[in-house]
Amino acid sequence: MFNFSFSYLRANGFFQLLAIFLAFIFLNEARANEKITVSTGFSNFGELKYSKDFDHLDYVNPSAPKGGEISIWANGTFDSMNPYSRKGTSGSLSSIFFEELLTSTADEIGTVYCFMCSTLEYPEDLSWVVFNLRPEVTFSDGSKLTAEDVSFSYKLFLTEGLVSFRAVLSKLVKKVEVLESNKIKFYFLEDAPLRDRIETVGGLPVFSQKWFTENEAGLDESRLEPALGTGPYVLDSYDINQEILYKRNENYWARDLNFTKGRNNFDFIRVEYFGDSNAAFEGFKSGAYTFRIENSSKQWATGYDFPALNKGHIVKRELRDGTIATGQSFVMNLRKEKFKDIKVREALSLMFNFEWSNATLFYGLYARINSFWENSDLAAIGVPEGEELDLLAELVDEGLLSTEILTNPAISAPTSGSRQLDRKNLRAASKLLDDAGWVVGDDGKRRKDGKTLDVEFLEASPAFDRIVNPFVENLISLGVNAKLNRIDYAQYTNRTRSFDFDIVTDQFRMSYEPGSGLKQYFGSETAKESLFNSMGVSSPAIDRLIDFISGASSKADLRIAVRALDRVLRAEKFWIPQWYKDVHTVAYFDMFEHPEPLPPYSLGYLDFWWVNPEKEAKLKAEGAL
């Protein structure tokens, strides 16, 4: 008989084996008891609007005819059809070839649905997600999409994507695993923001691994041959500096899917290139392209008096826009020493007279932007109260914010009088610059340490000349050596990408349920490299608030944290907010139609509008097309 002594058992590792065995049993039991959700969509804070078996999206016309062409304009030029690289200038709409596993709708906020997948699976703690791919998904050349393509695309973005985006992915995903040919699993890092996990990995464009391998292609390179995708349109032709023509893929895998009924209705989408907006408007008047979103208030108020419009060939309309304002603003480059002093930034902002500009230049069509979340309930208002106050007080106690943030109202853009140069604001700006050490000399120019206060506005569009020049004149009155430097589009791209500028016009497109993507706009980690963080802001307080937003577990908590961030961003005064309007101002040849009413969060003119063939024939018969 064996002598099962205690020492014998220990010597033979029995207890270690037993412990491993029991742990295995307990782990399997835990997994068996773990609640796994299998769904056709995902929402952080609510129910899905569309059920598994819905027929079509509520805001589309499922019977919309297919056919015809829509044409739009683009500014400048292009030398690449790769929209995911900093190298070269990508063609307009060049991401049209690619799709994501998940899709969103234009009548919901914060909800995503399976698109290239049939279902997704995830546990309560969101530590992983599995996407079950639709077997019918094919690339535009007819080849099958597999989980390997999804894995390859993720790794490509992780290693060759924009630096700011790589930083987000690296802090989100632990690993990716191909389970089957149509099944892929993403494991998330424990400290990754919960709300960003599924949406981020499900929102990555998917490429053909075979195409990249055979063409020895990389993601971060300039090339005129687009990568192979699954999208509804393919490249038909292009003429450098002139036009790009996209053609609807007749064999598109999702043409009968409920999510795409009534969408992708045009046979062709054409992009016409112009050197500037004035040339583009003249081109529209002559019929060079057929759909125009008008961004010039002057053109909208005075320019739409030409034969094609007067004959009824073109219609001019204002359509409701329920989206957050774009955050368009003059942005100061904080990487420059002269802008590091907040007094300088505040002084410059006092010299832009929006009220005079709106009345004199914009025909009263615009409202002033004050918030990064303008036109939404996420904008900070008044002094902080309740839980927002508590959140900010925590950062004040840690020494990350000054106490004024707790008692001062949210910073709004300065107001001015009816004259171009507001004397009251001029005096206030003068005092700020005096206090900052920029003293006026005998020649009327301000100097510090022997250097003049030079400020260059960098612009590519001549449409901004009439707006920037009065601003420059006001700054010169202040003693600032200001000038407008308008350069061509290619130079502008190169200089802004290398952050070689003082002030540019930029936009900050915020969402209703923001998350860790805010790090690309405002995060310290990528401040030196992110193209989205054009001003180069870097603040521990802002970083902390972004973390609070990413970790918000309810809409109420999210709203509180976003308002706090909005308040802190505005207090930095690195922007001089411009203007917005809550309508789309559009003009187009009278052959396009759209569903009524339009959804609140998308104009959708390239998505779910269509050509009325009878109206098109009439325009052609009258020689308008």
Q: How far apart are CA 623 and CA 621, in angstroms?
A: 5
Question: pLDDT tens across 215-234, in order?
Answer: 999 999 999 999 999 999 99
DSSP conformation class of 264 = S
Dihedral in degrees, nearest 10, Cα atoms 583, 584, 585, 589: -140
Token pair for residue 101?
């596993």
pLDDT above 90 (res 18): no
How far, rounded to the nearest angstrom, does the alpha carbon of residue 386 sit from its chain's CA centroid? 31
Alpha helices in 254-353 (DSSP H): 277-285, 297-298, 307-310, 342-350
Q: Domain 233-322+582-621: which topology? A: D-Maltodextrin-Binding Protein; domain 2 (3.40.190)
**Per-residue model confidence as pLDDT tens digits over 422-460:** 999 999 999 999 999 999 999 999 999 999 999 999 999
Whole-number pLDDT of residue 9 = 34
Distances (CA, A) of 191 to 196, 420, 524: 11, 52, 18
Distance separating alpha carbons of residues 6 and 74, to the nearest angstrom: 82
User: Does the structure show a pLDDT above 80 at 82?
Assistant: yes
Between CA 515 and CA 282 the distance in angstroms is: 42
The stretch 41-58 carries a mean pLDDT of 93
pLDDT at 28: 53
Q: Provide the sign of the torsion angle of the four alpha carbons 13, 15, 19, 22, taken in this order.
A: positive
Q: Is the pTM of this model over 0.85?
A: no
Q: CA of 489: how far to CAs of 279, 459, 500, in Å? A: 14, 9, 14
- Asked whether this chain's domains 38-63+98-214 and 233-322+582-621 adopt the same fold, the reply is yes
Interval 476-503 mean pLDDT? 95
CB 516 within 8 A of CB 162: no
Query: Which of the four pLDDT bands, split at 50, 70 and 90, describes residue 575?
Result: very high
Sequence-distant (6+) residues with CB within 8 A of 35 are 123, 124
Q: Which two tokens stand for residue 343?
A: 């007094």
Average pLDDT over residues 309-318: 96
Residue 22: pLDDT band (50, 70, 90) is: low
Mean pLDDT along residues 457-476: 95
* pLDDT 10s digits, 184-218: 999 999 999 888 899 999 999 999 999 999 999 99
Q: Which fold has domain 38-63+98-214?
A: D-Maltodextrin-Binding Protein; domain 2 (3.40.190)
Interval 114-128 mean pLDDT? 97
The per-residue pLDDT of the chain, averaged, comes to: 93
Distance CA 235, CA 275 (A): 23
47 CB burial (10 A radius; 0-12, 13-18, 19+): exposed
Cα torsion angle, 470, 475, 476, 480, sign: negative
Examine the pLDDT at 13 and tell me if it is beyond 90.
Answer: no
Tell me the three state secondary structure of residue 299.
Answer: helix
Contact partners, residue 4, CB within 8 Å, separation at least 6: none
Token pair recorded at residue 219: 């993601």
pLDDT of residue 58 exceeding 60, the answer is yes
Least confident of 164-173, 324-333, 373-382, 586-595: 164-173
What local confidence, expressed as pLDDT, does residue 167 receive? 80
Homologous superfamily in CATH for domain 329-580:
Dipeptide-binding Protein; Domain 3 (3.10.105.10)
The domain spans of the chain are: 38-63+98-214, 233-322+582-621, 329-580
Percent of the chain residues topping a pLDDT of 70 = 95
Q: How distant, in Å, are the alpha carbons of 420, 477, 585, 588 from that of 473?
A: 9, 6, 30, 37
CB atoms within 10 A of CB 418: 10
Q: Is the confidence at residue 30, as pLDDT, over 70?
A: no
- Is the pLDDT score of 12 beyond 90? no
What pLDDT score was predicted for residue 489?
Answer: 87
In this prediction, residue 4 carries a pLDDT of 34
For the cut 70, the answer to whether the pLDDT of residue 16 exceeds it is no
Please report the pLDDT score of residue 163 as a whole number: 79
Q: What integer is the mean pLDDT of 571-589?
A: 96
pLDDT tens digit sequence for 505-525: 999 999 999 988 899 899 998
Q: Give residue 166's pLDDT.
A: 85
**In this structure, what token pair is assigned to residue 427?**
């005096």
Amino acid 552 reads A
